[in-house]
């Protein structure tokens, strides 16, 4: 709108009005009193000072602030907690069967052989057999070594 645009030239208008007023005052004084010629310098000096001030004021108002962008790096730690992916390649290479992997996981969870047997509805002997096979394929001597190696090789989470 016309009013909106007006706001944009606010300072320019202010400047123009100041000038007009000053000229009017000067004209008025000229007609009211006989101005002595050597007083002209005084008026001009006053005008110069006033409009210099006005110019300064304008400059400060119109000057665009210099925008400086500061990038702050914020460190975000990613915990790959739920992002485990079985190393299928290694699994295939070692030749662990699905059942064997299942038993291995339960071993790593801290279950005893008897507890694993109960969990999988098989006999203790079956679990012992699977354990032996697992140790063989992983080339380890005991369950703790099997756990350590399986985690290292990303066979279990």
Partner DNA sequence: ATACCGTTCATGCTTTCGGGTGATTTTTGC
Partner DNA sequence: GCAAAAATCACCCGAAAGCATGAACGGTAT
Coil/strand/helix, residue 133? helix
52 belongs to the binding site for DNA (CB under 7 A): no
Residue 6 interacting partner from a copy of itself, DNA, none (CB closer than 5 to 8 Å by kind)? none
Cβ-count burial of 114 within 10 angstroms (0-12 exposed, 13-18 middle, 19+ buried)? exposed
Tokens in use for 156? 């279990």
86 belongs to the binding site for DNA (CB under 7 A): no
145 belongs to the binding site for a copy of itself (CB under 8 A): yes
Nearer to DNA, 12 or 145 (CB): 145
Measured between alpha carbons, how far is 133 from 121 in angstroms, rounded to an integer? Answer: 19
Tokens in use for 60? 């400060």
* Backbone torsions φ then ψ of 102, nearest 5 degrees: -60, -45
- Cβ 146 to a copy of itself shortest distance, Å: 8
Considering only the stretches 3-11, 41-49, 94-102, 123-131, report the one whose residues sit in contact with a copy of itself under the rule CB under 8 A: 41-49
What is the helix (H) or strand (E) element at residue 129, kind and residue range? helix 124-138
Binding residues for a copy of itself, per CB under 8 A?
Answer: 15, 19, 22-23, 26-27, 30, 37, 40-41, 44-45, 47-49, 51-60, 63, 65-80, 107-112, 140-149
């Amino acid at each position: 709108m016309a009013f909106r645009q007006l706001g944009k030239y606010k300072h320019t208008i202010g400047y123009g009005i100041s000038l007009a007023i000053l000229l009017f005052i000067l004209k008025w004084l000229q007609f009211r009193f006989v101005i002595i010629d050597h007083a002209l310098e005084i008026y001009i000096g006053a005008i110069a000072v006033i409009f210099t001030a006005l110019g300064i004021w304008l400059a400060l108002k119109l000057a665009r602030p210099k925008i400086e962008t500061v990038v702050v790096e914020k460190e975000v730690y990613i915990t790959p907690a739920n992002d485990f992916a079985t190393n299928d390649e290694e699994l295939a290479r070692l030749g662990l069967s699905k059942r064997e992997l299942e038993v291995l996981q339960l071993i790593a969870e801290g279950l005893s052989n008897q507890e694993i047997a109960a969990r999988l509805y098989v006999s203790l002997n079956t679990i012992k057999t699977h354990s032996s096979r697992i140790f063989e394929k992983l080339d380890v001597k005991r369950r703790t070594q099997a756990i350590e190696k399986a985690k290292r090789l990303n066979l279990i989470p």
